[in-house]
């Protein structure tokens, strides 16, 4: 299994040696042609596009008696033919000796031509929906965008897939705005072209992209200057988990104002400041009630306690994964309450966040008598049972944070939980 690299001259010494030692070279015609000059005197067997299985079959049959190089562009494992080989051998129960020789993949080659965009965490994603359903591709792209990754897009387009590119670009625009995208066509091959264009330009001119193109979507840290693109290793917005420089300035100014309203370096003060920040209301600090030590919440999360929440608004706001009660609702009760009941066994030892539903808080109180959570944040809101439900929670012998009276809400619950999560992630 020989990766011949994403373009001419990107062949490794090891790949060259393997080709020299082989009797047969099998591959897609375009790739075999690319290494022709190194394969003089070899028996060349080529097949067309989408004939991967045929190539594999031929190569495996020949490999029973001879040394065969099955060549693949770039790296043989990256959207390459290698997984088909393993699949075939497993299905047939055949046993031949395989050596895998890695190759320079298109994302490395394209990154090099653009400068240095993939210097840190990045995602490689193919837009081809031949083997993977489009909804899976789309949701992976969404999470990669939200995760702040630089993204290398393979198979961005073919005649039948222009629509996929259009939808992907729309998502990029929605999530990251009209930023510059690296477009590398035929890297290290004849017809090489490198351009850096805006998402909107690319959307209007989809012909800038073809089957031999790799797109590099930068992240907010990436700098585009003098026709080059690079992503610094050091995160400027390090503490803020990937926000832009402009936003960081605002956050810093806001933090100064909040420190004047609630001075102090403790966890309690930080929680109060965040509740004020999320509501824009300094008086909310008088409604926050600490029942026991909030550090217990930090410790629980640090030790890996699972987080259970009442509604999706809380789940989606959290910077950590959680289980949401409404997803487990199955009774006549309110969704959050019946959901919590079905999660009953998991509640023991968990951190539970109730941001919206008084009925969930009451159910949690009942469950907590025999299955004790480690920590509770209960800020349900409203005029029916909200106040009573929080009084019940604060009467438990379990450390918790609640809001007094009718006040509260999912945003406050999220602000508090995210603060605990952040403190739990600190090394000091
Ligand atoms: N195994 C290959 C990828 C095969 S999928 C590898 O590791 O590189 C085919 C896709 O790879 C193309 O649609 C294109 O997006 C990308 N690609 C391969 N070679 C390329 C090149 N020389 N320049 C730009 N993109 C390339």
CA atoms within 13 A on the CB side of 402: 24
Which among 421, 128, 145, 206 has a CA at the least distance from the CA of 294?
421
| Secondary structure of residue 250 in the 3-state scheme | helix
Is residue 97 assigned to a domain? no
Convert the pLDDT of each residue in 281-327 to its tens digit: 999 999 999 999 999 999 999 999 999 999 999 999 998 889 999 99
Q: Is 47 in the pocket of ligand 1 (CB under 6 A)?
A: no
Neighbours of 305 (CB within 10 A): 18
Is residue 345 assigned to a domain? yes
149 and 122 assigned to the same domain: yes
Convert the pLDDT of each residue in 130-178 to its tens digit: 899 999 999 999 999 988 899 999 999 876 678 899 999 999 998 888 9
Q: Is 155 in the pocket of ligand 1 (CB under 6 A)?
A: yes
β 180-185/193-198 pair status = antiparallel
Taking the C-alpha atoms of residue 20 and residue 2, their distance in angstroms, rounded to an integer, is: 12
Q: Is 209 in the pocket of ligand 1 (CB under 6 A)?
A: no
Taking the C-alpha atoms of residue 287 and residue 221, their distance in angstroms, rounded to an integer, is: 39
Residue whose Cα lies nearest atom 18 of ligand 1: it is 106
Residue at a domain's end among 92, 120, 153:
92
Q: Which of 106, 127, 151, 153 to mutate to test the pocket of ligand 1 (most atoms within 8 A of CB)?
A: 106
304 and 351 assigned to the same domain: yes
Q: Is 365 in the pocket of ligand 1 (CB under 6 A)?
A: no
Centre of ligand 1 from the C-alpha of residue 41, in Å: 28
| Secondary structure of residue 172 in the 3-state scheme | helix
Q: Is residue 3 classed exposed, middle or buried when 0-12, 13-18 and 19+ CB atoms within 10 A define those classes?
A: buried
Burial 49-65 (b: 16+ CB within 10 A, else e): eeebeebbbbbbebbee
220 and 292 assigned to the same domain: no
Tokens describing residue 422: 């952040």
- Please give the pLDDT value at position 244: 64
Residue 118's domain is classified under what CATH number? Answer: 3.30.950.10
Centre of ligand 1 from the C-alpha of residue 422, in Å: 39
Centre of ligand 1 from the C-alpha of residue 171, in Å: 22
125 and 215 assigned to the same domain: yes
213 and 265 assigned to the same domain: no
| Secondary structure of residue 122 in the 3-state scheme | strand
Q: Is 211 in the pocket of ligand 1 (CB under 6 A)?
A: yes
What is the total count of domains within the chain?
A: 3
- Along the 428 residues of the chain, how does pLDDT read in single tens digits? 999 999 989 999 999 999 999 999 999 999 999 999 999 999 999 998 888 899 999 999 999 999 999 999 999 999 999 999 999 999 999 889 999 999 999 999 999 999 999 999 999 999 999 899 999 999 999 999 988 899 999 999 876 678 899 999 999 998 888 999 999 999 999 999 999 999 999 999 988 999 999 999 999 889 999 999 999 987 665 444 555 667 778 888 999 999 999 999 999 999 999 999 999 999 999 999 999 999 999 999 999 999 999 999 999 999 888 999 999 998 888 999 999 999 999 999 999 999 999 999 999 999 999 999 999 999 999 999 999 999 999 999 999 999 999 999 999 999 999 999 999 988 66
Task: Using alpha carbons only, give the angle 135, 138, 144 rounded to the nearest 5 degrees.
Answer: 140
Is residue 336 assigned to a domain? yes
373 and 269 assigned to the same domain: yes
Q: Given the CA of residue 155, which atom of ligand 1 is nearest to it?
A: 13
Which among 32, 96, 92 has a CA at the least distance from the CA of 63?
96
Q: Is 187 in the pocket of ligand 1 (CB under 6 A)?
A: yes
Residue at a domain's end among 92, 118, 146:
92
348 and 381 assigned to the same domain: yes
Is residue 237 assigned to a domain? no
Centre of ligand 1 from the C-alpha of residue 68, in Å: 23
Residue 28's domain is classified under what CATH number? Answer: 3.40.1010.10
Is residue 205 assigned to a domain? yes
Is residue 207 assigned to a domain? yes
Q: Is 106 in the pocket of ligand 1 (CB under 6 A)?
A: yes
Q: Given the CA of residue 188, which atom of ligand 1 is nearest to it?
A: 22
214 and 287 assigned to the same domain: no
Residue whose Cα lies nearest atom 5 of ligand 1: it is 79
Residues spanned by the domain of 60: 2-92
Taking the C-alpha atoms of residue 130 and residue 120, their distance in angstroms, rounded to an integer, is: 29
Is residue 244 assigned to a domain? no
Q: Is 154 in the pocket of ligand 1 (CB under 6 A)?
A: yes
Q: How far is CA 334 from the centre of its chain?
A: 33
73 and 121 assigned to the same domain: no
- Please give the pLDDT value at position 243: 59
pTM, two decimals, is 0.68
Q: Given the CA of residue 189, which atom of ligand 1 is nearest to it?
A: 22
82 and 126 assigned to the same domain: no
226 and 284 assigned to the same domain: no
Residue at a domain's end among 32, 65, 92:
92
Centre of ligand 1 from the C-alpha of residue 74, in Å: 7
Centre of ligand 1 from the C-alpha of residue 213, in Å: 7
Residue 346's domain is classified under what CATH number? Answer: 3.40.50.10230
Q: Is 10 in the pocket of ligand 1 (CB under 6 A)?
A: no
303 and 265 assigned to the same domain: yes
Q: Which of 9, 74, 84 to mutate to test the pocket of ligand 1 (most atoms within 8 A of CB)?
A: 74
Q: Which helix (H) or strand (E) holds 125?
A: strand 122-126
Is residue 253 assigned to a domain? no
Q: Are 329 and 341 in contact (CB under 8 A)?
A: no
């Amino acid at each position: 299994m020989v990766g011949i690299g994403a373009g001419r001259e990107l062949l490794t010494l090891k790949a060259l040696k393997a080709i020299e030692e082989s009797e047969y070279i099998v591959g897609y015609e375009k790739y075999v042609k690319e290494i022709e000059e190194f394969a003089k005197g070899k028996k060349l067997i080529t097949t067309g596009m989408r004939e991967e299985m045929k190539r594999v079959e031929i190569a495996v049959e020949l490999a029973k008696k001879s040394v065969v190089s099955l060549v693949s562009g770039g790296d043989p494992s990256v959207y390459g033919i290698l997984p088909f080989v393993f699949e075939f051998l497993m299905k047939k129960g055949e046993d031949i000796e395989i050596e895998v020789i890695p190759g320079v993949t298109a994302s490395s080659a394209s990154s090099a031509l653009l400068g240095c965009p993939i210097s840190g965490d990045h995602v490689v994603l193919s837009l081809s929906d031949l083997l993977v359903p489009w909804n899976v591709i789309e949701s992976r792209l969404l999470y990669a965008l939200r995760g702040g990754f630089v993204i290398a897009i393979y198979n961005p387009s073919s005649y039948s897939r222009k629509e996929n590119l259009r939808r992907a670009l729309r998502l990029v625009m929605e999530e990251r705005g009209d930023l510059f995208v690296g477009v590398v066509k035929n890297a290290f091959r004849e017809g090489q072209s490198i351009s850096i264009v805006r998402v909107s330009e690319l959307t209007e001119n989809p012909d800038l992209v073809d089957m031999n193109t790799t797109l590099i979507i930068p992240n907010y840290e990436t700098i585009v200057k003098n026709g080059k693109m690079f992503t610094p290793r050091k995160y400027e917005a390090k503490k803020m988990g990937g926000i832009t420089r402009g936003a960081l300035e605002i956050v810093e100014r806001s933090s100064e104002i909040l420190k004047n309203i609630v001075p102090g370096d403790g966890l309690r003060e930080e929680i109060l400041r965040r509740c004020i920040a999320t509501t824009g209301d300094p008086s909310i600090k008088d409604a926050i009630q600490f029942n026991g030590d909030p550090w217990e919440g930090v410790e629980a999360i640090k030790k890996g306690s699972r987080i259970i929440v009442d509604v999706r608004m809380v789940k989606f706001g959290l910077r950590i994964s959680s289980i949401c009660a409404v997803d487990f609702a199955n009774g006549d009760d309110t969704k959050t309450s019946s959901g919590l009941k079905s999660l009953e066994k998991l509640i023991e030892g968990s951190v539970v966040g109730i941001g919206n539903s008084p009925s969930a808080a009451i159910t949690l109180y009942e469950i907590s008598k025999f299955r004790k959570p480690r920590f509770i944040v209960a800020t349900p809101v409203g005029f029916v049972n909200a106040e009573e439900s929080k009084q019940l929670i604060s009467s438990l012998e379990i450390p918790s944070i609640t809001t007094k009276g009718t006040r509260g809400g999912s945003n406050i619950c999220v602000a508090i939980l995210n603060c605990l999560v952040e403190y739990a992630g600190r090394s000091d």
